[in-house]
Chains A and B, each alone.
Chain A
Amino acid sequence: MYFLNVTPTHDPQLLKGVLSLLLLQMLAQRESYGYELVQRLHEIGLSDISDGTVYPALGRLERESRVSARLVSSHSGPARKYYRPTAAGYAALAEGVTGWLAFVEVTNPVLLHPIPTQPGPPNEEVFDD
């Protein structure tokens, strides 16, 4: 049997699907600007996510009116664009989290089984040619 003892790397496609939810949740916790969000994602363990993935994702959320932005002056340079969820963002977050948990509930019991080295026999009788 195989066990998941490898260093986890994150499937970009999987990450892309859940990135909007992560960003909304993080912004619901604390208003942030682009690079700060990247840092927060790295802190929770998503260190392989590139900054260039996060910034357009934020742009998309803003375009979909799920986050609003405001410029906040910074002591270390030009004003930074801080994002926070809108009412639509909170609704999307609630809906997304519910959907994600339901998905995990269905997939986890299957995926958490140790991986067999080879498949078992089929349920029905097999006739060899």
Chain B
Amino acid sequence: MRIERAVWTLDSYLRNLPRKSRIAKRRELRVNLRAASADVGVNEALRRLGNIRTMAAEYLVTEYGGPGPSWIVTTYFLFAAFYFMIWFENARIDAFKAGAIAANPHLTGTFHFTGVAYVFTNDVFIFTNGKVSEVGGTLLPLVYLCIFALAVLVGRLWRAIPAVRQRSLGAING
């Protein structure tokens, strides 16, 4: 059980590695730990293994020449960024609608609401006796581009490019 915990702890630190490589490392560590625990006992085998985080860092340096790309961080960032942008746009739309209805609960007509420059397109609100439908207010392509560029930076995705990986490894190995 404790061997499995060590194996899966290592696996959790290696989540940025390709799946195949991670499975191979898990398998090898498990075999080595079993051999070691048969020889010196589980406690000593785990003690001799040392710090698992340091070991994982060594594996990542071997693979990427550094911490490596983080797909999880990238995914979280993308979700957070788009969630925020959608929330922000909805807040603007709701504020406009609420203001218009507060001024005239039976409002009828078509209204244009200027978007945010370089971020959102303009909105068109169609009021019919206080009921409203809207068109527009979407993110501009530039925003998508910026969010994806930031996601690449935040998740260090350039390290997944084989040429960059080789260069990093070359720098480490001299």
Given A55-B55, A63-B62, A78-B30: A50 in contact with B39 (beta carbons within 8 A): no
Determine if B31 and A51 form an interchain contact, defined as CB atoms under 8 angstroms apart. no
- Count how many pairs of residues, one from A and one from B, have CB atoms less than 8 Å apart in the complex: 70
- Chain A min CB distance to B105 (Å): 69
Is A65 part of the contact surface with B, judged by Cβ < 8 Å?
A: no
Interface of A, helix, strand, loop or mixed by DSSP: helix
Is B149 part of the contact surface with A, judged by Cβ < 8 Å?
A: no
Residues in A neighbouring B35, C-beta threshold 8 A: 33, 35-36, 76-77, 80
Determine if A52 and B54 form an interchain contact, defined as CB atoms under 8 angstroms apart. yes
> Which of A52, A56, A78 is within 8 Å of B62, CB to CB?
A56
Determine if A56 and B59 form an interchain contact, defined as CB atoms under 8 angstroms apart. yes
Determine if A39 and B32 form an interchain contact, defined as CB atoms under 8 angstroms apart. no
Given A64-B173, A77-B31, A81-B28: A53 in contact with B36 (beta carbons within 8 A): no
Residues in A neighbouring B39, C-beta threshold 8 A: 35, 39
Most chain A CB within a 10 A radius of its CB, from B34, B35, B49: B35
- Chain B min CB distance to A64 (Å): 7
Q: Which residue of A lies closest to B173 (CB)?
A: A64
Q: Mark A43-65, 1 if CB is under 8 A from B, else 0.
A: 00000001111011101100110
Interface of B, helix, strand, loop or mixed by DSSP: helix
Is B100 part of the contact surface with A, judged by Cβ < 8 Å?
A: no
Determine if B48 and A77 form an interchain contact, defined as CB atoms under 8 angstroms apart. no
> Which of A34, A52, A60 is within 8 Å of B28, CB to CB?
A34
> Which of A51, A59, A79 is within 8 Å of B48, CB to CB?
A51
- Chain A min CB distance to B174 (Å): 11
Compute how far the CA of A63 lies from the CA of B30 in the bound complex, rounded to whole angstroms: 20
Q: Mark B77-96, 1 if CB is under 8 A from A, else 0.
A: 00000000000000000000
Q: Which B residues from 60 to 81 make CB contacts under 8 A with A?
A: 61-63
Residues in B neighbouring A34, C-beta threshold 8 A: 28, 31-32
Residues in B neighbouring A55, C-beta threshold 8 A: 28-29, 32, 55
Compute how far the CA of A103 lies from the CA of B52 in the bound complex, rounded to whole angstroms: 33
Is B58 part of the contact surface with A, judged by Cβ < 8 Å?
A: yes
Determine if A52 and B31 form an interchain contact, defined as CB atoms under 8 angstroms apart. no
Q: Mark A9-35, 1 if CB is under 8 A from B, else 0.
A: 000000000000000000000000111
Residues of A within 8 A of B (CB): 33-36, 38-39, 50-53, 55-57, 59-60, 63-64, 74, 76-81
List the 7 closest pairs (A to B, CB-CB), nearest first: A50-B50, A56-B58, A52-B55, A52-B50, A35-B32, A35-B35, A60-B62
Name 17 interchain pairs, CB-CB below 8 A, sorted by A.
A34-B28, A34-B31, A35-B32, A36-B35, A38-B32, A50-B49, A50-B50, A51-B45, A51-B48, A52-B50, A52-B54, A56-B55, A59-B25, A59-B59, A77-B35, A78-B30, A81-B28
